[in-house]
Structure 1
Amino acid sequence: MNRIRSLVLALSSALVLSGAVVIAAPADAAGPAATKAGAWKPRAATYPGAVTQKDLAIPMSDGTVLRGDLVLPAKADGTAVRKRLPVLVTITAYNKTVSPGGSDFLVQRGYAQLTVDARGTGSSEGSWGAFSRREDKDAGEIVEWAHSRNRPWSNGRIGMSGPSYMGISQIFAAGARPKGLKAIFPQVPAADVYRDVVASGGQVDVGFIPLWLGLVTTTGVVPPAVAATDPQSGFGALVSHLGAAATFTLPLLLDAVTGGDSAYDGKFYRDRSPSRVIKRVDVPTFLIGGEFDLFQRGTPLLFENLQKRGVPAKMIIGPWDHLEGSSGAGIGKAGHGTLDELQLRWFDRYVRGIKDPRLDKDIPPVTYYEQGSGRWTTAQRWIGKQRAESFRLSGAATAGGGHGVLTTGAAEDGTAYVPPIPISGLCTRSANQWTAGIPETALADLPCFQDNAANDQTGIVYETAPLAKATRLRGPINARLYTSSVSGDGMLSVSVSDVAPDGKVSRLTGGWQLVSQRALDKGRTRYLDGRVLQPFHRFTRASKKPLAGGEIAPVDVEVFPTAARIARGHRLRIAIQSFDVPHLLPTLPDLPSTLTGLTIHSSATYPSVLTIPALG
C-alpha cells in the first residue's frame, strides 16, 4: 500500500509540477545560518489569515482577458484588510485552481498574492503558445496592471515568485521592464530551452517534453471556474484551450519526432528562451537551481549574466531534481533559511525597501551543494578561480568490462567500440532527472538511481587510478572525443561519475551530442586556460554534417555543470553510451544512423580528453 500511495503522490505531483507544494513533505527546517548569534530572523505574522478573490479580469492590450486569483491578508473576523499592499505576482500555465501560487506565510506578513493563468490556460482566454512573444508581452502587462493605482489593494510595488514555468515567466516579465517591478525570485528556470531541455545534444527529449505538454493541455481543458460567473468568457476560454491542443501541442510534437523544423534550433526556440531577454533584466534576482534539475545547465548561465552586469543576484544550487527544486522543501539545508524565509527577506529588502545591511554578508552570491563531500559551500562567482584540468583517455576499452584509463600523464593508443544498446539510461539518475523526478518519488529505493554501475556496462568506461589526493570541481565539463561512425552519425551519451573504493558508481552529471552536429560556434564556446570547457553547437539543418566514410573527427560533448569532490582513494570515471532512454531518442529519419554504434579513438593523433573546472 505504501508503494501504491507513493505512486499516486508522484502522479499527482505531475499535475502541479511547478506548484508551491509539489509533494507531501515535512516543513523545511531552518539551516545553520539561522541559529547563529545575531542572525537575521523572520518577522512575525502581521495578520492571522488570508482570503481569496477569484478570477479577477485582467485585460491585455489585444483585448484578451486573463484571469487571476488575488489572496489578501485577512483580519481576525475573516475579512480582507482594506489597504494598499506590495504585490507578489505569479504567472502559471498549470491552472491556478489546480496549482495555486504563492504562500500564505508572505500574505500574513503584509503582501498581496496575485496568481494569473497564462494566456490560453486555466480560466484565461486566448490560445496557449508556451512563452510566445505575445505571452511574454502579457507578463509585462500583468505586472503593470497590478502596479496601477486603479487597484485599491496595490501600493504599486511588485515582486514575482514561483518555480519552473512561473520562474521562466518572471525572467520574461523583468525583461519587459514593467513599471513597479522591484525584484524576482525564480526557482529552477531555463535559459536556452533548446539546449537545456528540448533537444540536449541535438536529439529530442521524449521523457519530459511530452509529459509537460500533456500537463498543460490536461489542466487547460479543466472547465474554467469563471464559467459559473461569466459563462461567455468561460466557454470561450475552454473552446480556445481545446483548439490549442490541436493547433499547437500535437503538431509541435509530431513535427519534432519526424525531423521537421521543430527538431532544430531556430527562431521558435530563441523566442521562448530567457537568454533572449536576460540582458534586459535589471531587478534584483534570487535564483534557485538543482544539480539534477531539468534546467541544470541554464540557471547558472542566467546568474552569471546578471552578476557580470552588476545586477544584485544570488543563487542557491542544491542536490535536487525538478520536483524537489520546485517544492523548495530542502532549501533550508543550504544554511540561509527556508524558502518562505528567503523570499520574505528578499522581498522585504527590495520590494518593501526595508534596510538589511547584513543581507550580503549572510548570503554570499553563490551557495551550492558539493557532491561527494556532502557539504554546502559558498563562492563569490560560479566560475572564478577554477583551472582547466584535462584527463586523457588511454588504451582500449570494451563494453561490459575492460575499462580504459583516464590519465594526466602519457596515454596509450587505443580504440573502443560503443555498441547501440537502446536500453542504455533506462534505470539511472538521468532517467529520473529527465522525467522531472517523478520516478524517484514513487521508487526511491531502486538501487540504480544511486549506483550507475549496471548502466555503465552498456557502454565503455575510462577511469583514473585511485586518486592520491582529493579533486574538487565546479562548473561545466567538456568531453572531446575523437569519433568515427559507419553511418556517419550517432549520439554520444556521456556520464561523469565518482567511483568509491567499494565499486559504487555515483553519477555526478551527464552530457549528450549528435556526431553530425559537432561543429563548434567558437564565438559562443566557453574556454578555460585555452581549453574548451563549455562547447556551443548550432543545431540547425545547415550545421548538420555527417562524417564521411572512414573520417575520424573531434566531437565536443557539453557535460552539464555540477559541483563535486572526488575523495582521495576514489576514481574519476567517464562512461560513454550511444543512447539515453527515456530521456532522448533520435528523430525518425535519424533512427537508422544510430543503430551502427560508434568508435572512440585515443592516441597522439586523436587525443580524446575530459576537461574539468578544477578548484584548488
Structure 2
Amino acid sequence: MQRSLLALFLAITAVLAGVTGAAAAPAPAGARAEQFPAAAAESDVPITMSDGITLRANVRRPADAAGNPIAGRFPVLLTITAYNKNALDGPASGSSGGEPDFFVKRGYVHVTVDARGTGSSGGSWQSFDDRENTDSAEIVNWAASPERPWSNGSVGMHGASYMGINQLFAAAQRPEGLKAIFPQVPAADTYRDVVASGGALDVGFIPLWMGLVTATGVVPPNYGPAEPDNGLQMYLDRVKGATSFTAPTLLEATLGLNAAFDGPFYAERSPINVVDDIDVPTFLIGGEYDLFQRGTPMLFERLRANGVPTKMIFGPWDHLQASNGEQVAEAGHGTLQELQLRWFDHHVKGLPDPGLDADVPPLTYYEIGSGKWRHAQDWVDEQRATTFELSGTSLPGRPGGLTSGEVEPGASAVAPLPVSGLCTRSANQWTGGLPGRTGLAEVCEDNRLNDTTGAVFETEPVQRPLRIRGPINARLNTSTPTGNGMLSVSVSSVSPDGRVDRLTGGWQVLSHRALDESKSRYLDGELIQPFHPFTEQAQSTMQPGRAEPIDVEVFPTGAVIPPGSKLRVSIQAYDVPHLLPAVRDLPAALSPLTVHTDPQDPSRITLPTLP
C-alpha cells in the first residue's frame, strides 16, 4: 500500500515537474558531438548554508566508458528543485526532458539540489521566502567554488516552473560564478499570475501543487546507514513545514484572510520585484496556455528594457508541454536541448557562436489562428490600440455586437452558474495541463457550449486579418444586486462554421475593482493592462444595483482573427475549476450580474493590434 501511494505521488509530481514521457531520446541531430561516453554519479552530497542547514545535491560528472569520473574542471549546470531529485532521477529532472546525460557527455558537470525543506534537504519549506532565495545564490557559489575539484567556476542554471523561478532569484543576487540562465515557464507576479487571478482564488492548481511538494518531501532519502538520525529529522522538518506554512496558507486564503490578499508575503515570492537586479543572459520559454502566460512575457520585457541579453520562445503550450519542451523544435530554432547547449556553450563555456543572435531573434512566438511562428524584437513595440465597444443585449442564441461604430443601448444578464468554465481550454490550462495528458482537453477545445452560460458579444466577420500581440483590457459597466461577484471574460475567434476558439481570458472580482493608474499600462492613451492593488484596504463592495466600470485584465496572447472569422467576447460569473471566491465572499458571488452597453459610457475591449 505504501509503495503504491508513493508511486502515485511520484507520477503526478513528475508530470508537474515536466519530465513525464521524457524517455532517453537520441541526441538532437544539430547538437555538437559527445565528448565523453558516460556519467559518474554521486548522490546526496551535503551543502551547508550560511545558517547551518544542510541541503543535498546529486552530482553527475563526465566519465569514461567504465564509469570512472574524468579528472579536471568543467563548467557546471545547476538545477534546484522542490520535487525530490532522487525520486525524479536527477539528470532527467534537470534537463526537462530528452537525453538524461546530454550535457554531461558534452563536458558539463550537472548538479541537482533539493530546495530547503524538500527531498533530502534539511530545513522547512516556505516556497521562495527570502531564506530559500538566499540559498539559491549560496548554492551557485558552492558550485563555482575552487573547493569543488570538478568545477571551473562557471555556472549556468536551467529547469522549468519552480526550477525556473529560483534561477531568477539566484541571478538577482549576482553570484560571481553565474554566467547564464534558461528559465522555462517562470512566474513574474505570483499573486496575479496564478494564486488569485483577478482577486479570486486559484483552486485548480495551487492546492494540488502545495500538497504534492509536501508529500514528496517525505519520500525516504538515500542517506545510508552512516546518518540514521537524518531521516527522523527530515520527517520532523516536513511536519513543521506542513503545519507552519502549507496548511495555514491554504486555510487563510480559503477563509479570505491575509493570504487571500496581495502584500509582502507575495511580494517576497515574486521575481518581478527583483528582475531589475538580473544582469546575466536569460533565455525564456513561455506558453500561451501556460499557468504563467501573464508573467513570462513581463520578465522578457523588463530584461530587454534593462539591456540584458534576453530571448523568449512563446508557444501554444500548457504548463506541462512548455515544461518538458517536447515541442520547442517547432519554433524553428532546434530542440530544447540544442538551444540550451548553444546558450550555455556560448555564455557559460565561452565558445564562439557568432550566428546565435542572427539564428534566434529576441522574440519567437506562435500566432494562434494562423499557425505561423512570428519573430519580433520586443513583446509590445509596433502595436496600436484598437477598441471595440459592446453593443445591444446578448440573448440565448443571439449575441450582442462588438463594434467600432454606433452603439445600441442594452443590458445583458450573466447568471452565476458554477459550471461555467468546466469544459473549456481554461480548465486544462489552470490545472497545469493534466487533462491534456489524458485526452480530456481535446473534447473541450470548442468554447461554444460554455459561451451559452453567459453573455456573448461579437463583431461581424472581419475583412482583413486582425492580429493581436500583448495584454488586453475589457472595461465592462457592471451592476449586481449584492455589490460583489466575479467577471470571467474570454476572448475568442469564431470561425465561419461556428467553432469558438478561446484565445485567452481574464477575471476580476468586483470588490477589487480599484485601479492603480501608475502601475497600469497604456497604449496610444488607452488602457491595455490594468493594475488592481488586491489589498484588503483597497477592497470595497459596489452599491447594489448601480452600474460601475470594471477593468478586467485579460492575459496576453499572440493571435490573429483571420478574414471571415469573428472576434468574440464572452462573459461569465465563474471559471471552474480555475477560480472560486473565498468563503466569506460566497454569498455575494451567488447573485447575478448585469453588463450594460451605453453610448455615453460604453463597455469596451481594447487590444494591442499589429499592422
Question: C-alpha deviations, 1:171-206, integer Å up to 9, x for none?
Answer: 000011112000000000000000000000001100
- Structure 1 window deviating more from structure 2 (549-558 vs 346-355): it is 549-558
Relative distance call for 1:425 and 1:524 in structure 2 (3 A) is: same
Q: Is the 8 A contact 2:425 2:441 kept in 1?
A: no
> Aligned partners of 2:12, 2:490: CA distance in 1, in Å?
26
> Aligned partners of 2:525, 2:441: CA distance in 1, in Å?
43
Match of 2:94 among 98, 102, 124: 102
Q: Is the 8 A contact 1:28 1:331 kept in 2?
A: no
Q: Is the 8 A contact 2:510 2:541 kept in 1?
A: yes
Equivalent residues in 2 for 1:252-291, closer than 5 Å: 252-291=249-288
> 2:587 is paired with a residue of what secondary structure?
helix
Question: C-alpha deviations, 1:315-336, integer Å up to 9, x for none?
Answer: 0000100010110000000000
> 1:226 is paired with a residue of what secondary structure?
coil
Relative distance call for 1:378 and 1:160 in structure 2 (3 A) is: same
- Structure 1 window deviating more from structure 2 (21-30 vs 327-336): it is 21-30
Q: Is the 8 A contact 1:50 1:107 kept in 2?
A: yes
1:486 matched residue in structure 2: 481
- Residues paired across the two proteins, number: 598
For 1:285, the aligned partner's letter is T
> Aligned partners of 1:135, 1:11: CA distance in 2, in Å?
24
Question: C-alpha deviations, 1:143-170, integer Å up to 9, x for none?
Answer: 0011110000100000000000000000
2:415 matched residue in structure 1: 419
> Aligned partners of 1:553, 1:478: CA distance in 2, in Å?
16
Q: Is the 8 A contact 2:417 2:453 kept in 1?
A: yes
Q: Is the 8 A contact 1:9 1:442 kept in 2?
A: no
For 2:540, the aligned partner's letter is K
- 1:247, distance to aligned residue in structure 2 (A): 1.7
Question: C-alpha deviations, 1:283-317, integer Å up to 9, x for none?
Answer: 00000000000000000000101000100000000
> 2:42 is paired with a residue of what secondary structure?
strand
> Aligned partners of 1:528, 1:116: CA distance in 2, in Å?
43
| 1:60 is aligned to 2:46 | no
- 1:380, distance to aligned residue in structure 2 (A): 0.6
| 1:395 is aligned to 2:387 | no
Match of 2:12 among 11, 14, 17: 14
Q: Is the 8 A contact 2:476 2:551 kept in 1?
A: yes
> 2:103 is paired with a residue of what secondary structure?
helix
TM-score, with structure 1 as normaliser = 0.95
| 1:536 is aligned to 2:531 | yes
Q: Is the 8 A contact 2:9 2:216 kept in 1?
A: no
Match of 1:339 among 333, 336, 340: 336
1:5 matched residue in structure 2: none
Match of 1:119 among 116, 120, 132: 116
> Aligned partners of 2:188, 2:21: CA distance in 1, in Å?
26
- Structure 1 window deviating more from structure 2 (17-26 vs 415-424): it is 17-26
- Structure 1 window deviating more from structure 2 (310-319 vs 542-551): it is 542-551
1:81 matched residue in structure 2: 70
> Aligned partners of 2:340, 2:210: CA distance in 1, in Å?
29
Relative distance call for 1:485 and 1:208 in structure 2 (3 A) is: same
Q: Is the 8 A contact 1:227 1:234 kept in 2?
A: no
> 1:401 is paired with a residue of what secondary structure?
coil
- Structure 1 window deviating more from structure 2 (17-26 vs 401-410): it is 17-26
- 1:218, distance to aligned residue in structure 2 (A): 1.0
Relative distance call for 1:11 and 1:43 in structure 2 (3 A) is: same
Match of 1:313 among 310, 314, 327: 310
1:363 matched residue in structure 2: 360
> 1:169 is paired with a residue of what secondary structure?
helix
| 1:145 is aligned to 2:142 | yes
1:3 matched residue in structure 2: none
For 2:66, the aligned partner's letter is D
For 1:367, the aligned partner's letter is T
Q: Is the 8 A contact 1:296 1:560 kept in 2?
A: yes
- 1:232, distance to aligned residue in structure 2 (A): 2.3
Structure 2 stretches lacking a partner, 5+ long: 1-5, 96-100
Match of 1:460 among 445, 455, 460: 455
> 2:519 is paired with a residue of what secondary structure?
coil
> Aligned partners of 1:528, 1:150: CA distance in 2, in Å?
52
Q: Is the 8 A contact 1:27 1:329 kept in 2?
A: no
Q: Is the 8 A contact 2:458 2:566 kept in 1?
A: yes
TM-score, with structure 2 as normaliser = 0.96
> Aligned partners of 1:63, 1:46: CA distance in 2, in Å?
38
For 1:611, the aligned partner's letter is T
1:72 matched residue in structure 2: 61
> Aligned partners of 1:81, 1:477: CA distance in 2, in Å?
54
Structure 1 stretches lacking a partner, 5+ long: 1-7, 35-40
> Aligned partners of 1:20, 1:206: CA distance in 2, in Å?
20
> Aligned partners of 2:382, 2:139: CA distance in 1, in Å?
41
Q: Is the 8 A contact 2:87 2:219 kept in 1?
A: no
2:190 matched residue in structure 1: 193
- Structure 1 window deviating more from structure 2 (437-446 vs 377-386): it is 437-446
Relative distance call for 1:217 and 1:12 in structure 2 (3 A) is: closer
2:400 matched residue in structure 1: 404
| 1:354 is aligned to 2:351 | yes
For 2:299, the aligned partner's letter is L
> Aligned partners of 1:94, 1:445: CA distance in 2, in Å?
25
> Aligned partners of 2:160, 2:15: CA distance in 1, in Å?
9
2:3 matched residue in structure 1: none
> Aligned partners of 2:107, 2:16: CA distance in 1, in Å?
24
1:38 matched residue in structure 2: none
For 1:437, the aligned partner's letter is G
Identity across aligned pairs (percent)?
57
Match of 1:208 among 205, 212, 222: 205
For 1:73, the aligned partner's letter is P
Relative distance call for 1:279 and 1:74 in structure 2 (3 A) is: same
> Aligned partners of 2:66, 2:210: CA distance in 1, in Å?
42
Question: C-alpha deviations, 1:375-401, integer Å up to 9, x for none?
Answer: 111101100100000010000113x33
- 1:245, distance to aligned residue in structure 2 (A): 1.1
> 2:102 is paired with a residue of what secondary structure?
helix
> 2:46 is paired with a residue of what secondary structure?
strand
- 1:9, distance to aligned residue in structure 2 (A): 11
- 1:22, distance to aligned residue in structure 2 (A): 2.7
> Aligned partners of 2:220, 2:475: CA distance in 1, in Å?
52
Q: Is the 8 A contact 1:391 1:406 kept in 2?
A: yes
2:98 matched residue in structure 1: none
Q: Return structure 1 stretches of 4+ with deviation > 4 angstroms.
A: 8-13, 24-30
> 2:231 is paired with a residue of what secondary structure?
helix
> Aligned partners of 2:122, 2:167: CA distance in 1, in Å?
20
For 2:118, the aligned partner's letter is T
Match of 1:506 among 501, 505, 524: 501
1:37 matched residue in structure 2: none
> Aligned partners of 1:566, 1:391: CA distance in 2, in Å?
14
> Aligned partners of 2:324, 2:16: CA distance in 1, in Å?
8
2:427 matched residue in structure 1: 431
For 1:391, the aligned partner's letter is F
Question: C-alpha deviations, 1:424-468, integer Å up to 9, x for none?
Answer: 0011110100000001211246421x1000001100100011111
- 1:353, distance to aligned residue in structure 2 (A): 1.0
- Structure 1 window deviating more from structure 2 (203-212 vs 550-559): it is 550-559
Relative distance call for 1:20 and 1:492 in structure 2 (3 A) is: closer
Question: C-alpha deviations, 1:516-541, integer Å up to 9, x for none?
Answer: 11111101100001000011000000
Match of 2:516 among 505, 511, 521: 521
Q: Is the 8 A contact 1:18 1:163 kept in 2?
A: no
- 1:81, distance to aligned residue in structure 2 (A): 1.0
- 1:227, distance to aligned residue in structure 2 (A): 5.0
Q: Is the 8 A contact 2:435 2:441 kept in 1?
A: no
1:231 matched residue in structure 2: 228
Match of 1:560 among 544, 555, 559: 555
- 1:26, distance to aligned residue in structure 2 (A): 9.5
